Chains A and B, each alone.
Chain A
Amino acid sequence: MSFIKKPRILHPRTVPNGIGLTIHDYEGAMSTLCAGCGHDSVSAAIIQSFFELDVPPHRVAKLSGIGCSSKTPTYFLRAAHGFNSVHGRMPSIATGANAANRELHYVGISGDGDSLSIGLGQLCHAIRRNVNMLYVIENNGVYGLTKGQFSASADMGSTAKKGEANQLQPIDPVLTAIDIGGSFVARGFSGDKQNLVPLIKAGIMHRGFALLDVISPCVTFNDHEGSTKSYLHTREASHTAVYADFVPEKEEITATLEKGVTSVRLHDGGRVHLRKVDEDYDPTDRGRTTAYIRKHQAKGEIVTGLLYIDDEIPDLHGASDTVDMPLSDLDFETLNPGSKALEEIQEAWS
């Protein structure tokens, strides 16, 4: 609980990363979420990812909207600036923040209510602008803080805690993102950290908008029989189409590719190796990926993995053709045209 100070005791065998920091330097405050909440596993995976990537925590900016998921930036990377904004509006804040300083890593944490209902418009436009950030949707199919209403990602027929079945079509963030031109689209499961961490790492190093939908069960309102977002159901229905391995830059040379593995270089560093489970799945073919996902969804399966990637689409800065240094670092002398220019420009108006 939040009133308990998290102990900071270093195990004698705690190993520092490449920049001399330990995993504890990537932690945050104690979580106030329910015990067993999937979101805490996602936070742990984020901590591990940044630690292993050797990213200095203060070079990360964490952003969120409103909801249980949006509370979690408090629980990781305490040395990073965070912005817990308003409901459904985090994508626009992240867009502006990224415009101002292209050098930081941006992590947006959102939920299915925050992203697929109130914030669907902003999410779509952040994808369209290809803002360079990792955008995690901690997807549990319900509104937790307001006590268990269905969200827009709830599947048809999935039941609420009191038995009522959802009657509306779900919005799938993965299909939506691929359809509207997303450059990196993945789905993971909070109960499968081993496969989640490489997706997070690849998403961080991808230059562009990396959408990561994480099925993250709500233990209080949506973990019962009849729910399609429970731990049990997700585990049983998960179907990984492509496994992703993140290979950091320093190990690139030594890595040899097995048969059936494709490798994609990431513009912000490192590579991602894609191990296809199904031979006919191609995570670079937009049209075929959605057909595949829909086909498996019809069978009640939840398709996971790095489902679509195109690292060549220009990000917000690429499309805007901005200077290489952060706009926020430009000095006033560079930005102000001065009195002489002002005189000259006014000739046209006199």
Chain B
Amino acid sequence: MGQKSRINDFVIRIATVNGTGSASANSLLMKAIFRMGIPVVGKNYFPSNIQGLPTWYEIRVTAAGYLARSGQTNIMVAMNAQTYGEDLSGVTTGGVLLYDSTWPRKELHQRPDVQVLPIPLSKMCNEAFTGARARILMKNIAYVGALGALLDLDMTVVHQLVGDTFGDKTDLIDSNTKAIELGHSYVRENFDCPLETRLEAIEQTSERIMIDGNTAAALGCVYSGATVGSWYPITPSTSLFDAFSGFCKSFRQDPKTGKKNYCIIQAEDELAAIGAALGAAWNGARAFTSTSGPGLSLMSEFLGLAYFTEIPLVLFDIQRAGPSTGMPTRTQQGDILSAAYASHGDTRHVLLFPADPAECFYLTVEAFDLADRLQTPVIVLSDLDIGMNDWPCPKLTWNDSYEPDYGKVYDLQALENMEVFYRYVDTDGDGICYRTLPGVHPKGAYLIRGSGHNQYGGYTEKEDEYLEVVDRLRRKFDTAANLVPEPVVEVCDQPDGAIISIGSCDGAVRETRDQLKSEGIRLDYMRLRAFPFGETVRKFLDTHDRIFVVEQNRDAQLRSLLITETNTSSEKLIPVLYYGGQPISCEDIVGPIAERIRKEKAA
């Protein structure tokens, strides 16, 4: 049964074993398609393990430029015998399955609706290469060649990329080229090429880059002028500091002396990670830390201290599936509520919700400005899908006239001319007070404390003095609502309802809106970019009666936050949830929304 022609619109899913070099093969394949001018998006499904467990990589080829997982598998590359059965059954009707036929699996070809292409990859590589490790690695590179022939991949681009990757290591270029050629010629000689599902060069990626969110956020930290970064390794946030360290080596070392304009502290745990960032920020450096759910729990104590003592801080939470250790290599948006109100007592924090890697870059820069302006922690809530997967994004730009906003800080001159300085006096009425930095001037000195303090910075247990401080902090949060990034709002004529969503749901929501529109259902859309919620958010909530709140957690946390913080009636906020750990796809959203709207229309 032939598959209908799917040019530049299909999903390749590659099943391998982790630790076998498949990551380089997969990124080579994806990059080659991208260089043919065709938008792609890659999703990596990897285990919390170093070697030997199943792993999948999914490349969505999408001329329409969609960013979410599609939920389909049109081309399956089944390289892992252990998951073969699962992989075969996961292929979408009409799809194609490639497998390593060195060990034939005739008994498993029970899908008459799937075209199975046996390719003896291991056999060919065992004959062509020596050494166990090389044979395993080359077998994976060989499937790139096989796919190249089947999908009509531009092989010149592939060879260029191999050259780029290995530089002057000619032996590696030779072996990789040989492996690619093995796969390519076998397929050309044995099957009809190309398939109907295939690639066609277009011109849609010239102004785009492929980048993951952690790399983009790290770059944002460099561009924000952050000098102290402190962290504790945890999946999926680790690559943020790997990237920061890499960029600092390029951009932050004195060309003459080799001395570093930055300090990275790999702390002993998440408590110390945020503690060091806080100490640095108190002392006048732009400082940050990054973590994931379990780390956020540990950091709660310090978040309360930073909130109450009013120290700027940028914290990246690259969310993963919880609770507890949960699924470290699976994605979720499960930390919304715990981040918003982290720590005991009346605390609340500014949150930013980037939707893709490009926004990770720009919102990072905003996060540092907001933290300094508001003198409080700003938590950037990213997730594993944004943080670790490669997304196509518009090229990042930088305005050289940008000046950082360090907020209200009295410098040496100001202190010199001042009679007396008090830390927590709200002179401007916006809830934000002036701070001073250690070492600048004796008049600026004060003792900062997490215990009860009055507006003069002194210890207090007096009701009125305490209230003055905590009520001002509440006012400061109202100021924050006017300073944080506005939501992205898209409206249409006579909508049937609306969607509110955040972060990595964006791609799937946009695709959902397109699909539903073709079915006659029109939806307005607001993507939140920050907490606290400002006037635009309230207005959108007030002017819509049926709002689907799409998010990736079980307990509808964003919906709860909206209800609590805006007094919106819970009746009109309808939860649409996906929380299985894979990136959300429009298939998770379209059904529930369409069903609800049709039911109501019929009633």
Which A residues are closer than 8 A to B by beta carbons? 2, 56-59, 61-63, 73-74, 78-86, 89, 91-101, 103-104, 121-122, 124-125, 129, 316-317, 320-324, 326-330, 332, 334-339, 341-343, 345-346, 349-350
Contacts and interface: CB of A to CB of B under 8 A. Distances in A.
Given A100-B280, A336-B223, A84 B442 contact: no
B445 to A, nearest CB: 5
Given A84-B451, A122-B272, A330-B227, A96 B265 contact: yes
Interface string B506-532: 000000000000000000000000000
A332 to B, nearest CB: 5
Contacts of A341: 251
B347 to A, nearest CB: 13
Contacts of A101: 283-285, 438-439
Interface stretch (B135-143, B393-401, B556-564, B578-586): B393-401
A332 B440 CA distance: 19
Contact of A339 (B205, B254, B397, B448): B397
Contacts of B444: 58, 81
24 contacts: A79-B442, A81-B445, A81-B446, A82-B445, A86-B301, A92-B272, A96-B287, A97-B279, A97-B283, A100-B281, A100-B285, A121-B269, A124-B268, A321-B260, A322-B263, A323-B260, A324-B259, A327-B227, A328-B227, A332-B403, A335-B225, A342-B223, A345-B219, A346-B396
Contact of B280 (A59, A96, A129): A96
B275 interface: yes
A100 B440 contact: no
A92 B276 contact: yes
B282 interface: yes
A334 to B, nearest CB: 6
Nearest to A2: B459
A321 to B, nearest CB: 5
A336 B283 contact: no
A98 B287 CA distance: 12
B222 interface: yes
Given A85-B275, A92-B271, A349-B210, 7 more contacts: A89-B271, A95-B272, A101-B284, A320-B263, A321-B260, A339-B398, A345-B219
A152 B445 CA distance: 34
B259 A322 contact: yes
Given A86-B305, A122-B271, A95 B265 contact: yes
| Interchain residue pairs A-B with the least CB separation, the first 10 | A92-B275, A96-B279, A96-B276, A82-B447, A81-B438, A328-B284, A100-B285, A79-B442, A93-B279, A96-B280
B228 A92 contact: no
Contacts of A334: 261
A323 B275 contact: no
Nearest to B207: A350
Interface in B377-403: 395-400, 403
Contacts of B544: none
Interface of B: 205-206, 208-211, 219, 222-223, 225-228, 230, 247, 250-252, 254, 257-265, 267-269, 271-285, 287, 301-302, 305, 395-400, 403-404, 436-442, 444-451, 459
A84 B437 CA distance: 15
A83 B395 contact: no
Contacts of B228: 96, 99-100, 327
B439 A59 contact: yes
A323 B282 contact: no
A332 B261 contact: no
A249 to B, nearest CB: 21
A338 B285 contact: no
Contact of B448 (A84, A327, A332): A84
A74 to B, nearest CB: 6
B271 A349 contact: no
Contacts of B282: 83, 93, 96-97
A104 B439 contact: yes
A86 B302 contact: yes
A210 to B, nearest CB: 18
Nearest to B436: A81
Contacts of B278: 92-93, 96
A101 B254 CA distance: 18
Given A93-B279, A349-B210, A350-B209, A121 B403 contact: no
Given A92-B271, A327-B261, A335-B261, A99 B251 contact: no
A81 B439 contact: yes
B285 A328 contact: yes
Contact of A122 (B262, B268, B397): B268
A2 B460 CA distance: 11
Contacts of B397: 339, 342
Q: Which residue of A63, A74, A332 has the most chain B CB atoms within 10 A of its CB atom?
A: A332
A205 B33 CA distance: 61
Nearest to A71: B459
B452 to A, nearest CB: 11
Nearest to B273: A92
A214 B409 CA distance: 37
B441 A58 contact: yes
A58 B439 contact: yes
Contact of A336 (B225, B260, B263): B225
B268 A121 contact: yes
A55 to B, nearest CB: 12
A61 B261 contact: no
B443 to A, nearest CB: 8
Contact of A94 (B279, B439, B451): B279
Contact of B208 (A86, A322, A335, A350): A350
B275 A122 contact: yes
Nearest to B357: A349
Contacts of B439: 58-59, 61, 81, 101, 103-104
Contact of B442 (A57, A125, A335): A57
A97 B438 contact: yes
A58 B442 CA distance: 5
Nearest to B285: A100
Contacts of B450: 84-86
Contact of A337 (B223, B227, B437): B223
Contacts of B305: 85-86
Contacts of B398: 338-339, 342
Nearest to A90: B275
Contact of A99 (B205, B268, B274, B276): B276
Contacts of A346: 209, 395-396
A341 B446 CA distance: 41
Contacts of B281: 96, 100
Contacts of B208: 350
A93 B268 contact: no
Nearest to B447: A82
B267 A84 contact: no
Nearest to B227: A327
Contacts of A61: 283, 438-439
A350 B165 CA distance: 13
A342 to B, nearest CB: 5
Nearest to B222: A337
A229 B208 CA distance: 69
B288 to A, nearest CB: 11
Contacts of B441: 58
B259 A95 contact: no
Nearest to B451: A84
B279 A73 contact: no
B300 to A, nearest CB: 11
B459 to A, nearest CB: 7
A63 B268 CA distance: 20
B302 A81 contact: no
Contacts of B230: 95-96, 99
B209 A73 contact: no
B227 A100 contact: yes
A74 B280 contact: no
Contacts of B222: 335-337
Given A122-B275, A332-B403, A350-B395, A99 B449 contact: no
A83 B284 contact: no
A56 B252 CA distance: 32
